[in-house]
Structure formats: structure tokens, C-alpha cells
Amino acid sequence: MSEIPKAYEPQAVESKWYQYWLEQKCFAADPARVSAKRPAYSIVIPPPNVTGMLHMGHVLNNTIQDILARKARMDGKEVLWLPGTDHAGIATQAVVEKTLIKQGQIRHRDDLGRDKFLEKVWEWKAKHGDIIIEQLKKLGASCDWGRERFTMDPEYSKCVQRVFVDLYRKGLIYRGKRMVNWDPSARTALSDEEVEMIETKGHLWHFKYPLLDDQDRPRTDAFVVVATTRPETMLGDEAVAVNPRDERYTHLVGRRILLPLQNKPIPLIADDLVDPTFGTGCVKVTPAHDPADYEMAVRHKLPFTVVIGPDGRMTPEAGAAFATLTRDQARKAVVAAMEQAGLLLKIEDYVHNVGHSQRSHVPIEPYLSEQWFLRYPSQAAARACVADGTMQFFPDRWAKVFDHWMGNLRDWCISRQLWWGHRVPVWTRRVPTTDTTMRMRRDRARVCATLVELARNGGAASEECPLFEDSWSGVEDHRTFWRVRGESGTDTEWEAATFSELEARALEAEGWVQDPDVLDTWFSSWLWPFATMGWPERTPALEAFYPTTDLVTGPDIIFFWVARMIMAGYEYMGDLPFRNVYFTGIIRDKQGRKMSKSLGNSPDPLALIARYGADALRFGTMRSAPLGQDVLFDEKDVELGRNFCNKLWNACRFRQMQGGAIEDEIDPALLTSDDKWILRRLDRAIREIDDAFAGYRFNEATATLYRFFWSEYCDWYVEASKAALQSGRSDNPSDPPGARAPDPDAAAAARRRANTLAVIDFVLSHTLRLFHPFLPFITEELWHGMNYHADLPIDQGGHTIMDARWPKPLDPAFCEHYGLDETAEQVASAKYELVGVGRNFRREFNLASNRKLQFVLKPAGDLPPAEVEVIRLLLNAETIEVHRAYTPPKGTPMAANALGELYLPLAGLIDSAAERARLEKELEKARLEVGKVAAKLGNPQFTQRVPPAVLEEHTKRLADWQAKEKQILTSLNNLPE
RNA sequence: GCGCGCUUAGCUCAGUGGAAGAGCACUUCCUUCACACGGAAGGGGUCGCAGGUUCAAGUCCUGCAGCGCGCACCA
């Protein structure tokens, strides 16, 4: 570092050290190293979508994880940060299909067929799947890349199938015809969590439905009026419902109504679901297109007429006039037709919430279809662990949200009508009902199921039917289960669930056909904390690193992912998957809007890294991200980070320029008040940072680092230390010629200088370590550049700052030895206070910053010349004359405190009117404060009840302000005229 | 409708019962041999509103208002 540049240039430094860390395998976790003395620390990454590009949310999230991981390493832990990606079923399939269409290769994925299309997706994954991983590396992420996992890896896929079959066997996974959330754009079912309610301005259309008379003839004089927000669904109406206690309509219940446009008689039914106070109290019932209506239809055994198809277009059932129209077109057409028929009573403006697909943002269509559902396992354990504090959430208010959701669990629709994903491991076949093979298979499965239950409840499993391959995982050895799906005529339709490749092939040879659906991506990522570590084997990694320590994720996936992982963890590991969950805020733009591609308000983190450096991006982001609050991102924050790195760089450069070897022996006898002051500030900073880490308050840690390093170390200590550094220089230009000869004064100055360098080295080497989790690259560069790694054991920083030991607060013995008491700190503080006022004179009297001034100091007590020299330097004064019996000329500006009185004699130069104004302002302030404190102390309630420390502090404060007031009055009296 | 956040300097936000803070922006001065990605000094706040608890409230409690976010089958 002999010729270090004036400004820090991050690019080369960052790539160099990342390469070094990889080559030296610094990120690799070894379960064998875990011991009582070296505890494990683990995080699994929230797997980003394999289609994804790094965005600011990833930056926030992964910077936090990296900070935690690096801090844990410095704490001497064996750290596993396990990376990977998920396959993101809908998003990836959509991107690939869109790309192929854009390239003109296909018009629809059907043109290729399932197998060929999947080949294309894999090709695409091979080409683009690593992008986000490489981007994470640019950020400095210290993941154990050798353990990178992908949710579609063969082993991982096997875990997904295994879990599916297990839950199927337990009866928790079932297939059923249900009303599901259908995304007509992606053409797949979604889970409830994937539906976003959006407040939408719409209308409430009021339709008249004619009553039928006894001969089923429509009456022209009697109608029921229904209101709807979705006129197009009326084509599928099967009833009109009223509340059974609604006396306006009880006489009509059981009568028939003519459904207009379809000219179909439908009944008027009574159901408790109907709110008699809303609208007319009559509700049209569309069994196949509304979840509430569906329930009513089941109760009243109504038919299910499907008028909207899976593509969001009207079906032939909707009638010739409407078939093939889109939902929107059909809405207009129905309204027009009703109006023409004179059955449109009125249209009201209406604001209501409409479910939209979180994926494609189109309105969700409630759709009746066959899907796979899961009744969640291990609900009680999952709910309890958060409620009783076994697992902690940061901030903990999310615990309440979690608990509410856990208390209202509804079965999870896990099947998706996609090709990209884990295909449902179920095969079906129709066989003659008389076929005995299937009966035998089923009976065997039943026996096993019973024994599984027995074993789970503490009973013994028989030896003929060893159920558990591994009792730890709780998944039984039997890989195939059969169930009757349905019977028709002489045939029985069977289904078989298996995770055995061999079984599956055997079944297919027998003519069994696999279910076409794939599983929700979250059905694979809920296994992430253990499926990535070799489950169901009892691997060393699982033994060492499960449960993981911390999870860092966004609150937007608390249900999608966090809650489900907890349930899966209990079900398959018998233990929680992580001990702490840190929920980040959401990154927004300056206007507070969410970052989104369509708004184009999402900055590219890679561009920011190129411009400012990864450390700058990390520091800026962390500094502006308080725990659990959303972050309004501003590029200024990154600029601040860069400036900070530059400051750090130059502070080290300054030390380099002082020359000399690393000084590690500090002589207590030679410590100045400034030395003691900065050492105590360092101690305080370490304590604050430790405290911040304990509460996951990273922004607080960065604030402390910033204040300590910039305001305390650079602004005060470094400037003050220049006194000792300059006077002790062997090449001091002010030395008289011939000063080479042994000179006791010069030797003493040189010793003081060396001691100052030792303090600087002590502080800087601590500072670099405190900064390392936040600024990994620049700290590593400086660690080596400053030679602080020399002489350290290889596993304690000799090799990399990553392994350097985390600084400890200074222990009492150390403080005692070096005399770091409060008095020492107070001397320095008083010095800086005096300097502050002295500097203010320049502004008050319009004296240019570079103008050489001569001050006079009238010390209150004993003030060594070295201290005076520090004050001179800090004031940028030409001279300070120490004068114990000084009588200032009238009107000389003066500042005073415990240290003494500082005068700026400027005969004839100062504007006494301005000085009077200044002093009067000061006086006003002092009197105000005296008044405030005196009032408090005058209150007996206060003096009697307050803790002694507070009382003492107030008493002192009063004395201070009174002294100040007196001094200002003196100065005022001294003014000319 | 229920629940949860937020409201402090022009802007973005810290502030965990005992003298209102930071960064940016602004004003003035300074290229003094670490740093102009810098240094020095300064201006700027009845802490959303109204009550209450307390010797003491930005901080705790109760209302209210505005903004934001969850959850919820009112067509």
C-alpha cells in the first residue's frame, strides 16, 4: 500500500477479494468442525426465483444475511449459509413461453407438447439460472456455494414426492372438486394466498327476474329484484335466495322464477347466508361461479352450470349469443340484453374488493374444478412455538399475524395446471371392479396405514411391515399407496401415489397414467430448511445445522413460506426449522411506491455496485433500513455509503503516511487525554454495536459506526493526534539543523509519537473488524494493506479478516492499566468544547477559515503544553499564548469552561454590536435553561421523588448554566460603550 | 367490519420516561501536507390533534384524524 490512490476504487478490490475468499474456501461450512467450543450457526437463503434478477429487496435481504453470517464467523462459530434457487413454476413457465412466442418458435406451448417444452425450460434455466447467483456474489454474499440447491434437483424433487406420498398416506392430501381461485390468464388454479383483494370501482346492476305462475308462465306484474356486480354470471344462475326469516319473501319461498335470457325456470330458495339488510334481500345464485353460491348450491342440491370456461371466455352453456365472448364483453352484452328486455331496473356505482391474481394481475375467476388439497400437518406445534416464544419473530408484531392465520387455516390447493414443476406423483387406472390384484394392494396399504398410526401413537410396528425407513423423518418405507377414486359401471378407477421411480415405471407399464398437474412451488420450498441438507438421511449437515439459527425474509411471504416451513419442520424433523425470523421491510421508491418492473422505479443494484461499490450499496441500504419498517430508497444513501468508504480509506491512508511499523505496544505513561478519550469512545461503540446486534437493529449499528468513526475518530481524535505526530517526526522540518544529535526532548517526542501510532493502530484494527460484516471488501483490503493480519494466527485473522475475532468491550483491567477513567475523558471533552466556541468566533466575526489567529488562554488549573498545542491545532490558530494573569482589552471575545478562558484579542477588528448581539443571544439561552432547571429543582415533589442520580445531574446542570450566565454578563460589561 | 403499522427539521428517518438527534438539502467560510466522495461554523422542530397517568411524556394510557398494510363469502 505504498502508493495508495487518494480515492477508494472499489471495483478491482472487490473482485480480487471475492476470488480470494472462494479460492481459500472461506465460506465452506464443515459439520465436523462443530463442537461445544465452536457452535454452529446456520441460515438458509430464501431461494430467489431462478428467473429472477437481483433487485433492491434481494440486496436488503441478503446483505442482512451476510452481515449475520460474517458476524457469526468472527464470533468463532461454524457458519453455514446455504444458497439456492427455486423453480418458480408460474413465472418461469410464463417467461419461457413468452420468449418462445416472441422468437416466433411457437404460438402456444401446445405446439411443442409437454416434454419438448420442458426441454426448452431446462435449456433456459441452464442459460439464465445462474444470473442471480452471480449477482449475489457481486454483493459479497458469503454463501457456501458448494451446497447450492435448486428445488428441481433430482434429490430435492425426491423429497417433494416423498412428502407428498406421506401426506397422501396420512389422508392429509386429497383430491376434490371444489371452487378454486382460477387465474384465467395463467390458466391455473391458485391458492388463497395468491389472491390479492383490490378495491375496484364497479357497478351494482339491479335486475328484475319475473316470477312464474302455477302454469310456469312468466308474470308481467311480479318480479324479484336481484343485484349483482357481475352481470355475466347470471347466465349460470340456478336459483334466487332469500333469508328464511325475511318476512317479505317467506310466501315466495319454493316458487319458481324465470331466469331471463336463458329462459330457464329456477327456484326461489331460503338460506341463512343471505343478509336481509343488503340490497333487496334477494341474491342470485350462480353455483359454478361464486364460492358462497357454491356452498348454497351444495346445500340445496342445485345444478352447476358452467358458463365461463378456464380461458375466461363464455362457454356454449352461456347460450349462442354469448359463447366465446370474454367476461368483459359478456358483461356488456348481458346488460344490453337485459335492458332491451326491460328487466334492468337500475345501475348504481359501487366500490368493492375484487380478487386479483398476484401473478398475472387479472381478476380471479372462481372456478369449479378437480384439484389436490392439503390439510396442513403439525398445526398445533407450529402455532405454539411462536406463541410461547420458542421461535422469535423480529419485529414481534408479526407473531400476531402469524397466529391469526394459523388459527384460521383452510386447506391448501396445491395443484397447478402447469408443466414446469414437480408433477403430482399420482397415477390412475381404470380396472374391472372384479380385479383382485388391486384389492390386495389396497388391503396391504390399509394394514400399513394402521400400523403407521400405531407407531406414531407410541405402539410398536410389526417386523413384517417395517414402516419407518428412518424414525427421525417419520416417512415410512412403503412407497406406493392405492386408493379408489371412483366407480362407474363395472369399472373401478384407482389411483396410486408413489415416490419410487421403479414403481412408477412398473405402473406405467401396466397402463397407469400420471396426473398431469404439477405442485405449487411453495409445496417444494416449504421443505427448504431440511431438504437442502440431505433429508431424509440423517446427514452430518442436518445433525450439525438443523434447526437453523436465523431466517431473513419479507413479511409478504409469512404465510406462503414461513408458516408452511414451520409446519413442515415439525412434521418431518420433529423440530422447528429456525429459531429466529427477521422480517425485513419492503423497499420503496422516494415517493413510497413499491418497486416494480412496470413502474420502472427499481434501480438495478448491479449498476449501483458498478458506480459506487458493493460496500457502499450495503452500507447505504443498512443505514436506512430500520427493523421492520419499509425503506424509502434513495440513491443518495448509496452515495453516502461510498463517501463513508472513502473516508475509511483515507483514514487508513493517513496512518500509512505516518510511516513506521505496526505499533502494538501502548505505554500507559505516554497516553494523552485524547488517546484515553478515543479508547473510551471505542469501548462505548463496541458496546452499542453488540447491543444493536443482539436486537437485530442493523441500522443502529451502522449509525454507531458512522458516528464513532467519522465524528469521533476522524473529526476529533485524528486532528488532535496530529500534535503528537508532527512534533515527534524525525524529519520534522521545524527541527533546527543539527538536531540529529541525541536530544532528550526529541527522543521523548518520538516516543510519544510512536505511542500515538500504537493507539491509532489499536483503534483502526478494531474499527476494521467492527466494519467487516457491513463492508466486507474494503475492510479486507485495508486489513491486509495495513498489515494488521501479520502475526495473527491463521484462523484468527492472519488469513482473512473474516476470521478475525470480533472486538470485545475493553475489560476493567485494561481500563485500569491504561488509566481510562472518566476524568481523562472529561479533559478531552472540555478541550473540544472550548475549541468549538473558539471556532465559532471565526464565523461570528467574519474571519476567513484560513486566517491565522492568535488566541490567549487563561487556564483554570494545570494545563500541560501538549494540551495547549492540541487546542492550537484544532483551532487552526497561529499561536496560543498561555497567560495566567491576562487582562483582556475591553471587548475581547471570550469562551470559558472548566479548562479555563479562551480569548481572541482582536483590537479594533471586531464589530462590538455584532458581539453584543451574539452575547445577548447566548444570555437568553442561558437564562432560559437556568429558569427551566431552577423551576424543577424548586418543586419539592421533584426533589423528593426523583432518583438521586437525576437530582444530582439537575443540580450540576443548574450550576453550569448559572456560571455560564455570569460569564456572559461579564463579557457584556466588558464591551466598549 | 376486525387487526397492525406510521405521523418528530424543507426531504428521508433514528429516538427503549429524566437537557429534542442523524444524513441529505440550505447559508457562510476554507483547496491548511488523509480525504472537496473533504474540513469548519450556522440557520431550521408548540415531536398529527385532544384528553389522561407521572415530580417529569416525543416516549406510557384513552379517544380522534390522516396515510399505509394485512385479514374478511355482503351479492
3-state secondary structure A157-204: HHHHHHHHHHHHHCCCEEEEEEEEEEECCCCEEECHHHEEEEEEEEEE
- Cβ of A873 near strand B (distance < 7 A): no
Q: Which residue is nearest to nucleotide B28 (CA to C1')?
A: A843
Q: For A649 and B37, how far is CA from C1' in angstroms?
A: 11
Q: Which residue is nearest to nucleotide B31 (CA to C1')?
A: A850
Helix (H) or strand (E) holding A131: helix A131-139
Average pLDDT over residues A39-56: 91
- Cβ of A929 near strand B (distance < 7 A): yes
User: Residues 295-354 of chain A: which lie with beta carbon within 7 Å of strand B?
Assistant: 352-353
Q: Which CATH architecture fits A194-366?
A: Alpha-Beta Complex (3.90)
Residue A660 has pLDDT above 90, yes or no: no
**Distances from the Cα of A973 to the Cα of A756, A905, A916, A964, angstroms:** 43, 16, 10, 14
Angle between helices A744-771 and A673-694 (to 10 degrees): 10
- Cβ of A11 near strand B (distance < 7 A): no
Q: For A615 and B69, how far is CA from C1' in angstroms?
A: 31
Q: For A734 and B46, how far is CA from C1' in angstroms?
A: 57
Q: How far apart are CA A961 and CA A212, in angstroms?
A: 94
What DSSP character marks residue A109? G
Q: For A907 and B36, how far is CA from C1' in angstroms?
A: 34
Q: How far apart are CA A288 and CA A293, in angstroms?
A: 8
**What's the confidence (pLDDT) of residue A732?**
47
Confidence class for position A395, pLDDT limits 50, 70, 90: confident
Q: How far apart are CA A432 and CA A957, in angstroms?
A: 97
**What's the confidence (pLDDT) of residue A51?**
82
Q: How far apart are CA A691 and CA A686, in angstroms?
A: 8
Beta strand residue intervals within A435-490, DSSP E: 468-470, 475-476, 480-488
Q: Is the distance from CB of A525 to CB of A86 less than 8 angstroms?
A: yes
What percent of chain A has a predicted confidence (pLDDT) above 70? 92
A511: exposed, middle or buried (C-beta count within 10 Å: 0-12, 13-18, 19+)?
Answer: exposed
Specify the CATH number for A614-796; select among 1.10.10.350, 1.10.730.10, 1.10.3080.10, 1.10.760.10: 1.10.730.10
Q: Look up residue A11 and give its three cell numbers.
A: 471495483
Least confident of A295-309, A583-597, A690-704, A841-855: A583-597
pLDDT in tens, A533-553: 998 888 999 999 999 999 999
Q: Which nucleotide is nearest to A636 (CA to C1')?
A: B24
**What's the confidence (pLDDT) of residue A492?**
85
Q: Would you say the C-alpha torsion A149, A155, A159, A165 has a positive or negative sign?
A: positive
Peptide bond before residue A807 is cis, with ω within 30 degrees of 0: no
Q: Look up residue A878 and give its three cell numbers.
A: 497561529
Between A451 and A566, where is the model more confident?
A: A566
Average pLDDT over residues A681-708: 91
- Cβ of A279 near strand B (distance < 7 A): yes
**Distances from the Cα of A148 to the Cα of A140, A145, A375, A412, A727, angstroms:** 16, 5, 31, 28, 57
Beta strand residue intervals within A534-577, DSSP E: 548-553
**What's the confidence (pLDDT) of residue A552?**
94
- Cβ of A634 near strand B (distance < 7 A): yes
Q: How far apart are CA A300 and CA A138, in angstroms?
A: 62
Q: For A698 and B50, how far is CA from C1' in angstroms?
A: 36
Specify the CATH number for A913-977; select among 1.10.260, 1.10.287, 1.10.3470, 2.60.40: 1.10.287
**What's the confidence (pLDDT) of residue A742?**
55
Q: Would you say the C-alpha torsion A559, A562, A564, A567 has a positive or negative sign?
A: negative
Q: For A358 and B75, how far is CA from C1' in angstroms?
A: 24
User: Residues 370-399 of chain A: which lie with beta carbon within 7 Å of strand B?
Assistant: 397
pLDDT in tens, A762-799: 999 999 999 999 999 999 999 999 999 988 898 898 89
pLDDT in tens, A108-118: 888 889 999 99
In the block, residue with C-alpha cell 326469516? A245
First to last CA, chain A: 61
Q: For A8 and B37, how far is CA from C1' in angstroms?
A: 9
Q: How far apart are CA A776 and CA A762, in angstroms?
A: 19
Collapsed DSSP state (helix, strand, coil) of residue A492: strand
In sequence order, the β-bridge partners of residue A879 are A854
**What's the confidence (pLDDT) of residue A449?**
54
Write down the mean pLDDT value for chain A: 87
Q: How far apart are CA A820 and CA A184, in angstroms?
A: 72
- Cβ of A614 near strand B (distance < 7 A): no
Number of Cβ within 10 Å of residue A32's Cβ equals 9
A770: exposed, middle or buried (C-beta count within 10 Å: 0-12, 13-18, 19+)?
Answer: buried
Q: How far apart are CA A484 and CA A443, in angstroms?
A: 12
pLDDT in tens, A119-131: 999 999 998 888 9
Q: Look up residue A405 and give its three cell numbers.
A: 392465520
- Cβ of A845 near strand B (distance < 7 A): no
Q: Look up residue A683 and give its three cell numbers.
A: 469501548
- Cβ of A843 near strand B (distance < 7 A): yes
- Cβ of A962 near strand B (distance < 7 A): no
- Cβ of A230 near strand B (distance < 7 A): yes
- Cβ of A654 near strand B (distance < 7 A): yes
- Cβ of A717 near strand B (distance < 7 A): no
- Cβ of A957 near strand B (distance < 7 A): yes
Number of Cβ within 10 Å of residue A160's Cβ equals 23
- Cβ of A817 near strand B (distance < 7 A): no
Nucleotides of strand B within 7 Å of the protein's CB atoms: 3-6, 11-16, 18-19, 22-24, 28-42, 54-56, 70-75
Q: Is the distance from CB of A386 to CB of A403 less than 8 angstroms?
A: yes
Confidence class for position A761, pLDDT limits 50, 70, 90: very high
Q: Give me the interface pTM, i.e. the ipTM.
A: 0.94
- Cβ of A659 near strand B (distance < 7 A): no
Number of Cβ within 10 Å of residue A430's Cβ equals 16
Phi, psi angles (nearest 5°) of residue A384? -65, -35
Q: Is the distance from CB of A144 to CB of A29 less than 8 angstroms?
A: yes
In whole angstroms, what separates CA A862 from the centre of its chain? Answer: 55
Residue A850 has pLDDT above 70, yes or no: yes
- Cβ of A229 near strand B (distance < 7 A): yes
**What's the confidence (pLDDT) of residue A599?**
66
Q: What is the DSSP track for A587-641?
A: EE-TTSPBP-TTTT----HHHHHHHH-HHHHHHHHHHT--TTS-EE--HHHHHHH
pLDDT in tens, A880-908: 999 999 988 887 888 888 889 999 887 55
Q: How far apart are CA A90 and CA A107, in angstroms?
A: 18
Between A835 and A457, where is the model more confident?
A: A835
- Cβ of A711 near strand B (distance < 7 A): yes
Q: So where are chain A's domains?
A: 165-182+371-378+410-519, 194-366, 614-796, 821-910, 913-977
